[in-house]
Chain A
Amino acid sequence: MKKLNRRNFIKGSLAGGIATVAASGKAKKASAAGGDFGGYPESMGVLVDMTKCIGCRTCEAACNKEQGLPEPDKPFDDYSVFDEHRHGGLPRRTTEKAYTVVNRYNVEGRDHPLFRKFQCNHCNEPACLTSCFVNAYTKTPEGAVIYNPKVCVGCRTCMVACPFYVPAYSFTSAINPVVKKCIMCYDTRLKFGRPPACVESCPQGVMTFGKRKDLIALAHQKIEGNPGKYVDHLYGEHEVGGTSWMYLSDVPFDKIGFDMHLGKEPIISYVKDFLAMVPMVLCIWPALFTGFHLLSTRKQANKEESPKA
């Protein structure tokens, strides 16, 4: 097997992932520029105006139905979920059963709570994609970051790499965990030019679907046209190299759980350093490589044994 050093490997996986969907010229640009790919020019996106969200959870229900996810623990019109917290008082996060969650933030000085919808942000240069050894991920020209569950070996590297803690794993089979996350409704909607289910379901029009570049112009127009209404920041315009989902808020983003220290560089440029901080991952790489083959054979066998899974 050809020897790959880590850097080339990461580069290779980025180019590889993109080459599957882009003209080779574009892919070359992506890897040659070492991370200022900036996304597909015609990429679609979603602008989330959090000032309008009323926390009705209709979007959560819509996602559940569209993606054929399991029955929730509580009805989608049960608002006691806003009181649920994980360890350390952290709000609910996405899971293998819920690709999107809406969380409530009581912000001092705001007369009613702010609700924040959360799902994969569909990064222009996704850390999940660049960190994946088996190229399970693809960034489509429409903007969605999708994955191939048949290729995923469940190593969880993308979960560690994602700056927004998005990918979750299905542990229905202990030896066959597989990544689960929002795919921007690619299979059923986006690739046919239709907006995501959550976007369409929202009664308040919190989310605007359109070309990412148009949404950026629209967002700045909204900020400028309504002085004092919004914080002068479009979250996702530049963060980690830009994301397809972007946010407007009327309260400072760091007060509602947004990480304001991610910087403008895509995570790929940091992957090396980042991984160095996670020596565990490096130590288990060789093991992982040898394990891939085993795992996938097992997966195959497993599938045959239990067609239910």
Chain B
Amino acid sequence: MGLKTGKQVGLAALIAMAAPLVLPFSANGEVFELSSLANLYEGVSFDHDMHIEAVADDCSLCHHHTAGTPPEEPTCIPCHKNSPEADSPACSSCHLIEPFSSANLAISEENPLLHHKMKPGLKAAFHQNCMGCHQETGGPVGCQDCHAMTEKGEKFYNTGQYAPKPRTETGHH
């Protein structure tokens, strides 16, 4: 089994699964525009259907215990092996856009479940999950293979039209 390296495959695609807050779970044929985190890079079109096929209907590979299929991670199994489908299996329902804000840190401090404290923020969840799989299966892994850099991004990375001018040797040094 291998991932198709279609243009719509989205590593950072996921970068914006925040948008479809209520993601219809059996949303076959849907292409999501993942753009809620778009800033330095443009959003990503994520072909959900194609990925369902790529993972051979094993939803838990991405959705852990929220899709009604048993989770993969050994740490999740003890509590979640029989968990039903969650009200919303969207990435952004659990993975926070601002995981380290004071408010969110205070909430996580009250949560005695260390496993849940380990839960990455939305941006990290997208990249870790997509990238991990793409590396193994030959999916796209370069930043711009999934999302084009914006002008803001070029400024931020001092690249493209904002690249540093080649230094001229002045002999002074």
Contacts and interface: CB of A to CB of B under 8 A. Distances in A.
Contacts of B13: none
B167 A205 contact: no
Contacts of B157: 57-58, 61, 75-77
A242 B135 CA distance: 35
A140 B39 CA distance: 32
A28 to B, nearest CB: 29
Interface stretch (A117-125, A211-219, A233-241): A211-219
A200 B99 CA distance: 9
Given A54-B131, A203-B12, A61 B158 contact: yes
Interface stretch (B20-28, B60-68, B79-87, B101-109): B101-109
Contact of B100 (A62, A199, A225): A199
A244 to B, nearest CB: 14
A156 interface: no
A193 B105 CA distance: 10
B75 interface: yes
B114 A221 contact: yes
A3 interface: no
Given A209-B100, A211-B109, A225-B75, A52 B163 contact: no
Given A210-B100, A221-B118, A75 B164 contact: yes
B158 A76 contact: yes
Interface in B99-147: 99-102, 105, 108-109, 114-115, 117-118, 120-121, 123-125, 127-128, 131, 143
A202 B124 contact: yes
A209 B121 CA distance: 11
Contacts of A209: 100, 105
A74 B131 CA distance: 26
Nearest to B149: A77
Contacts of B131: 54, 204
B164 A205 contact: no
Contacts of B164: 71-75
A76 B156 CA distance: 8
Interface in A250-294: none
A35 interface: no
Nearest to B143: A56
Contact of B124 (A71, A78, A195, A204): A204
A61 B100 contact: no
B158 A75 contact: yes
Contact of A217 (B114, B158, B163): B114
A65 interface: yes
A218 B117 contact: yes
A77 B118 CA distance: 29
A205 B121 contact: yes
Given A52-B128, A194-B101, A203 B123 contact: yes
Contacts of A62: 156
A65, A73, A75, A222 interface centre (most CB from chain B within 10 Å): A75
B128 A218 contact: no
B57 to A, nearest CB: 27
B159 interface: yes
A105 B86 CA distance: 42
Nearest to B155: A65
B75 A71 contact: no
Interface of B: 12, 74-75, 99-102, 105, 108-109, 114-115, 117-118, 120-121, 123-125, 127-128, 131, 143, 156-160, 163-164, 167
Given A61-B156, A75-B158, 9 more contacts: A77-B159, A203-B124, A203-B127, A205-B127, A210-B105, A218-B117, A221-B115, A225-B74, A225-B75
Interface of A: 52, 54, 56-58, 61-62, 64-65, 71-78, 193-195, 199-200, 202-205, 208-211, 214, 217-218, 221-222, 225
8 contacts: A71-B158, A76-B156, A200-B100, A203-B123, A204-B128, A205-B99, A210-B108, A225-B115
